[in-house]
Structure 1
Amino acid sequence: MKKQLISLLIITLFFSCKNEKQTNGKLNVVTTTTMITDLVKNIGGEHINLQGLMGSGVDPHLYKASEGDVTKLSSADIIFYNGLHLEGKLVEVFEKMKTKKTIAISDAIDKKTLIGSEYFASNYDPHIWFDITYWKQATQFIVEVLSEEIPDQKANFEANGAKYIEKLNTLKTKLETTISELPEEQRILVTAHDAFNYFGKAFSFQVVGLQGLSTATEAGVQDVQKLSAFIIENKVKAIFVESSVPKRTIEALQAAVKSKGHEVTIGGTLYSDALGNAGTIEGTYIGMFEYNVNTIVNALK
């Protein structure tokens, strides 16, 4: 009942409010995940008022709109979200906001190139930010959207977008160099859930998640036993916790491996569905990606 009331309140305010900019005359932009917030910040900069709904460590699969989100959503000129049913609990709200104000950045990507997934209503793996090529496409898409909304700042948005794409190109080269230190037979990434399939495809890793693509699913005893056998058979040195997923499932997996007379370490915590704390290196998309790769390679070498 509370969920229905919040959804109704959001939708009512959304359509009833006047689409006015704040007194400083800037466009009001709301974003969902921390990755999107960071991306839009790099492009919009000081020319927009930016507010993100989700913070560090927040799982977008399970996120529910709070009463505090109502004001942000109702006063927004544009809402950027991931799409592909990543924000599972917000889908109903966004579907009822089908105006130009709600924009899925996944619309920038050719669906034929995405990884299929029967776990999602969209039939696609939504973790597109782990493919840097996709993130570059999302960058250009946001540049175009913001330029259309604020034509007199188009040159600034385009310049910011070009600068950010250059940074992404540098990031990709740096990650490839780091990953090259790890023999291909050791590139097996075992994590709490299947958030890293695009990463695996881009950097030649075999990726295995204990849970499905959505953290809304739970790993059962059979899943743990099956994956523990896989770890032993493939001599996997380390497995990884995710910042937005409870670590108990990975600890259970480690215990299952140990019960069979083998050892596997927990190689560290990876950032999957959310960035790190604001103000830290991991609090940016580029810093998060570099941190993840360094953590993975160091633990698996």
Structure 2
Amino acid sequence: MTKRFLHITTLFVLMISVVLTGCGTEPAANDSGKLQVTATTGMIADLAQRVGGEHVEVSALMGPGIDPHLYKASQGDIQKLQQADIVLYNGLHLEGKMQEVFEQIGKQKPVVAVTDQFAESSLIASGVGGGTHDPHVWFDVKLWSGALDRIEAELIKNDAAHQADFEKNADAYREELAELDQYAREQLAQIPREGRVLVTAHDAFGYFGKAYDLEVVGLQGLSTDSEYGLKDVQNLVNLLVERKIKAVFVESSVPKKAIESVVKGAKAKGHDVKIGGELFSDAMGSAGTPEGTYPGMVRHNVDTIVKALK
């Protein structure tokens, strides 16, 4: 952990403490009568909204284009956390250095990691030691359904009066996710075996590759906080040239500069590789667009990959 992150985390925890102490332990008044749910990412917020339906008001801290690995909370975020009845986060160290913040808020209200009941056998080791795992679990649609189960249980626990509605909504969404999982399998199977290589800026698509049978290569590690150097770029360029890979992909929440340097490097060696499109990795699209929902985000990624590599 860098001194810079230690400084940021310490300041944020102190800010949380001041807010909670000054406002007491009771949540802010809520005239709507609905459960107030604050989620860290859009993917989690989507699940909570679909399960909770008309009985919840859901807000996400991290909107389109926001990188959770480098996330810095604002004063407005502190208010959302303090006013929430339930706080939902991914866990598995996705949310940078916020664990201390969640522990602090957890003394006052339910703070739930939606992956906390995932079987370890279903997770991909991070490769950096310490028993840590790849946090990008939403890229395996079937696995992500486990987060739906966790959220459903938490909503029922905090609002038993609407249990029947929560269960009905969750069952409908499970069915939709099962269809989405099948869609991904059928579409990606169209890519020829030799071309089933997904190259992106950072290694966010491990679960996607495992679930849908693609080889995944990222220039950076699991976190965009990890650094890459000239050697990493050269190694990736050599891979593209040797295996005649025809497309690489940028990500909506990661600067394009790294991937663009790889494309230029391949061209310098006589191999033209194109940018196959923009994928949504650590954040969804804008609200009101198809990509602003979890199913829409997945379908966009699948269709973009198939179009470029097929």
TM-score (norm 2): 0.93
* TM alignment of 1:56-67, pairs within 5 A: 56-67=64-75
Q: Which residue of structure 2 lines up, in the alignment, with residue 93 of structure 1?
A: 101
What is the match of residue 19 of structure 2? 13
1:30 is the counterpart of 2:38:
yes
The one-letter code matched in structure 2 to 1:6 is F
Instruction: Give the conservation status (yes or no) of the 8 Å contact 1:240–1:268.
Output: yes
Unaligned runs of 5+ in 1: none
Superposed displacement of residue 60, structure 1: 0.5
Q: Report the Cα offset of residue 120 of structure 1.
A: 7.7
Deviation at 1:50, TM superposition (A): 1.3
**Distance in 1 of aligned mates of 2:33 and 2:125:** 42
Contact 1:20–1:77 under 8 Å retained in 2: no
One-letter amino acid matched to 2:119: D
For residues 103-160 of structure 1, the C-alpha deviation after alignment (integer angstroms, 9 at most, x for no partner) is: 0001131123200013486610000000112211111111111001100100000000
Q: Residue in 2 aligned with 1:265?
A: 274
Deviates more, 1:272-281 or 1:48-57: 48-57
Contact 2:49-2:57 within 8 A present in 1 as well: no
Aligned equivalent of 1:189: 198
For 1:41 and 1:294, the matched residues in 2 are separated by 25
Aligned-residue sequence identity (percent) comes to 49
Q: Distance in 1 between matches of 2:55 and 2:11?
A: 34
Cα shift at 1:21 = 5.1
Q: Can you list the C-alpha shifts for 1:1-48, whole angstroms capped at 9, x where unaligned?
A: 565333212134336331355122221110000111111111111101
Q: Which amino acid aligns with 1:80?
A: L
Counterpart residue number, 1:140? 149
| Matches of 2:25 and 2:82, distance apart in 1 | 6
Number of residue pairs matched?
301
Relative to structure 1, is the Cα distance of residues 185 and 21 closer, same or farther in structure 2, using a 3 angstrom cutoff?
farther
Residue 172 of structure 1 and its aligned partner are, at CA, apart by 1.2
**1:54 counterpart residue number:** 62
Q: CA RMSD in A?
A: 1.6
The 8 Å contact of residues 254 and 264 in structure 1, kept in 2 or not, is answered as: yes
- In 2, the alpha carbon distance for the partners of 1:287 and 1:64 equals 27
Tell me how far apart the structure 1 counterparts of residues 46 and 188 of structure 2 sit (CA, whole Å).
25
The 1:120–1:27 alpha-carbon spacing in structure 2 relative to 1, beyond 3 Å, is farther
Matches of 1:95 and 1:18 in 2, distance apart? 17
Residue 112 of structure 2 is aligned to residue 103 of structure 1: yes
Give the secondary structure class of the aligned counterpart of 1:210. Answer: strand
Superposed, which structure 2 residues align to 1:282-293 within 5 Å? 282-293=291-302
1:248-279 residue CA offsets vs partner (Å, 9 max, x unmatched)? 00000101111111111110000000001110
Separation of aligned partners in 2, 1:243 and 1:2: 25
Q: Distance in 2 between matches of 1:57 and 1:7?
A: 25
Alignment partners' CA distance in 1, 2:60 and 2:149: 20
Distance 1:279 1:120, change over 3 A: farther
Residue 295 (str. 1) matches residue 304 (str. 2)? yes
Q: Secondary structure at the match of 1:19?
A: coil
Runs of 5+ unmatched residues, structure 2: 1-6
Q: Which amino acid aligns with 1:227?
A: L
Letter in 2 for 1:112: S
Distance 1:161 1:120 in 2: 36
- Report the CA distance between 1:192 and its aligned residue: 0.3
**Alpha-carbon distance in structure 2 between the residues aligned to 1:298 and 1:20:** 48
The code of the aligned residue for 1:59 comes to D
Relative to the length of structure 1, the TM-score reads 0.96
Provide the rounded CA distance (Å) in 2 between the counterparts of 1:14 and 1:121. 32
